Structure 1
Amino acid sequence: MSAAKRYRPCILATCCVPWSERFEFEEEIFRRSVRHQIACGIRDLYVFGTAGEGYAVTESQFDVVTRVFLDETKADGVQGMVGLINQSLPTVIERIERARAMGATRFQISLPSWGVLNDVEMQTFFRETCGRFPEAEFLHYNLMRTGRIITGQEYGRLAAEFPNLVATKNSTADEARLRSLFADAPQLQHFITEAGFAKAALMSECGFLISFTSTNFARAREYFQAGRERDEAKIASIVADFEGLIAAFKEAVGSSAHMDGAYDKLFCRIHDPAFPLRLLPPYESVSEARFDRYRELLQQHQPHWLP
């Protein structure tokens, strides 16, 4: 880990939650999926982000899945992170307390989205999460669904006040925003998705927030390593595939689904044919036929991105 950063540079990946036809937790499939990622060299995992349906689970589902996730990520060198997405700050606090009792030490937080938080409310949110639990580490997921994008300068002020705020997730390729993250909050490890990582890695040390390249973890690790080494030619050669990869899942899915998890479960299914595509209701998932079309498009146009 860099001495200047509070969290190690790495690939950060989601763990999607599989549901049965009765929307019951498919524990064995989930355990297999987590183990597969670890075996493929992905050592930093989180559950209950937007792709992991953290916004949709009940309290009992949260507890059951969290307990299994922590059990699977307790191996040496593996870091598991529990996501917290809820409109209610007291519910977020209660989830942290219960997860802490299970052994969780790292959490991913997102701002409540029912109403866009003003500056005072945002400060209260971080005080009641990072400030209330100083023994835990927190990553903030910075996404427009909350109605507010935290700036680099704001992160700098929050990091100065809360030493256990260790990282951020940002899905952006905007160069000005990336430069601000690194300049104004340099002590935080900033995780950037595929397109933005190509630019960010040439600016500063950063983490790679993996999404559609998770269909082939070996290739994704090559991309991350190229970023670590600032190998511009290698980065460019891999980025050249991204337009086709994105086009494949967008063509296959079409307008049939719009939640992050619908896409990410396609990627999980590429690795495990038994991984269910369904999302918790009311959200629409991708059909079996559309998944078959996605896999066919990859086979035809991007076969080196299959496992």
Structure 2
Amino acid sequence: MTERKPHAIAGNWATLLLPIGADDEIEFAKLGEEVDILIAAGVDGIYSNGTAGEFHSQTEAEFDLIQSMLAERCTKVGMNFVIGACQPDARIMLERIRRSTLLKPLAIQVILPDWWPVTDEEAIDFLKRAVDVGNGIPLILYNPPHAKRVLAPQGLGRICAAVPGVIGAKVADGDKQWYAEARRHLSDLALFVPGHHLATGIMEGVAAGSFSNVCCLSPRGAQAWTASMQEDIHAALDLERRICKFMETHIVPYRQRSGYSNAALDKLLCAIGNWGPVGTRLRWPYRSIDIGDAERLRDVARTELSELFV
């Protein structure tokens, strides 16, 4: 296992998922219960408004209420939290960043402006202004596979080097060559790899942690698995292989064959894990996976991935 540079933001981070009622409204009482459950699970941190948090489907008033609820509960008990200020419109995103600074998160996550892919120069210009608005709170760039422009390690490193206030990035990883390029170009960034690849990311000396889909399935199990990587990386890699097989066999086909979104898949994982009051419903117009599918897969998950449910 390669020696890694320590980062202030690291480890197993749980995503905040929105409980959506039959009337298409956010069920805030259930959201508060969810935050409390994640805190009790002892995860390394909680973050809001990634793709699975449906940031693209919120009003600004809803955004503010979600973040204040997260901040209040986490601050009260000393739980680390990151606010996702993501929004396709760059101007709205800057205002979300400005308001988020008042809640004093450990970091603020942003995307590159959406709809039309930005150039390197446009990305740098946006990130510099976002850093200024962030008023000293560091930024994490969210650059998943479904971003309009997915940055390879060299390009990501060049852009972030021009904006020192960006201290990390959530990325899709790749093969051995990708990891070699990441070690070469991204050593100064806290990199967050996909949750089901975290043991590989740790072994390769690249990952600071994960904003984790495995946490969607089992927050406590994902936390225990993350801790085990420092003690027995080979056992952690064995569990990773089984997690990936479970995802490829039972979860990914919902996207490949039926066109469900990544947010729908993450909510399906949460319903399979059955640890909180989230459900599988997405906000209109996005389609939701039937809760019966989650119920059918619960015993399968507990049989194939028993370590996550001890």
Common fold: TM-score over 0.5:
yes
Report the 3-state secondary structure (helix = DSSP H, G, I; strand = E; otherwise coil) of the residue aligned with 1:145. Answer: coil
Distance in 2 (CA, whole Å) between partners of 1:138 and 1:266 is: 29
Q: Confirm or deny that 1:276 pairs with 2:279.
A: yes
Q: What amino acid maps onto 1:288 in structure 2?
A: I
1:266 to 265, 268, 272: 268
Q: Which moved more, 1:114-123 or 1:6-15?
A: 6-15
Superimposed CA distance per residue, residues 105-152 of structure 1 (whole angstroms, 9 cap, x where no aligned partner): 521111123111112211111112124434111111112322222233
Report the Cα distance in structure 1 between the residues aligned to 2:259 and 2:309, rounded to whole angstroms. 22
Where does 1:46-195 land on structure 2 (aligned, <5 Å)?
A: 46-104=47-105, 106-195=107-196
8 Å CA contact 1:213–1:305 kept in 2: the answer is no
Question: What amino acid maps onto 2:158 in structure 1?
Answer: R
**Offset at residue 87 of structure 1 (A):** 2.2
Equivalent of 2:219, from 200, 217, 220? 217
User: CA separation in 1, counterparts of 2:188 and 2:155?
Assistant: 13
Q: Tell me how far apart the structure 2 counterparts of residues 216 and 177 of structure 1 sit (CA, whole Å).
A: 28
Q: Does 1:290 align with 2:293?
A: yes
Deviation at 1:250, TM superposition (A): 4.1
TM-aligned CA deviation for residue 157 of structure 1: 3.4
Moved more, 190-199 or 42-51: 190-199
Counterpart-to-counterpart distance in 1, 2:137 and 2:224:
31
User: 1:168: how far off?
Assistant: 1.0
- Identify which range, 143-152 or 268-277, moves more after superposition: 268-277
Equivalent in the alignment of 1:233: 234
Judging changes above 3 Å, is the alpha-carbon distance between structure 1 residues 23 and 217 closer, same or farther for their aligned structure 2 residues? same
Alignment partner, residue 248 of structure 1: 250
| Kept in 1: contact 2:85–2:96 (CA 8 A) | yes
What TM-score comes out, normalization by structure 1 length? 0.88
Compare 127-136 and 249-258 and name the one that shifted more: 249-258
- Is contact 2:196-2:244 (8 Å) kept? no
Report the alpha carbon displacement of residue 74 of structure 1 after superposing the two structures with TM: 1.0
1: CA distance, partners of 2:139 / 2:289: 32
Measured in 2, the distance between the counterparts of 1:8 and 1:57 equals: 26
Q: CA deviation at 1:56?
A: 1.6
With over 3 angstroms needed to count, the CA separation of the structure-2 counterparts of 1:5 and 1:162, relative to structure 1, is: farther
| Identical amino acids, percent of aligned pairs | 20
Report how far residue 233 of structure 1 moved: 2.1
Structure 2 stretches of 5 or more lacking a match?
A: none
174-183 or 267-276: bigger deviation: 267-276
Please say if residues 173 and 196 of structure 1, whose CA atoms lie closer than 8 Å, have aligned partners that are also in contact: no
Alpha carbons 1:190, 1:206 under 8 Å: kept: yes
Q: How many residues align?
A: 305
Pick which of 73-82 and 90-99 moved more: 73-82
Q: CA 1:272 to 1:235, structure 2 compared with 1: closer, same or farther past 3 Å?
A: closer
Unaligned runs of 5+ in 1: none
Q: TM-score, normalised by structure 2?
A: 0.87
Distance 1:250 1:4, change over 3 A: closer
State the one-letter code of the partner of 2:264. A
Q: Retained in 1: the 8 A contact 2:14–2:211? A: yes
Distance of 2:226 and 2:44 partners within structure 1: 13
Q: Residues 218, 62 of structure 1: CA spacing in aligned structure 2 closer, same or farther, 3 A cutoff?
A: closer
Q: Secondary structure at the match of 1:108?
A: strand
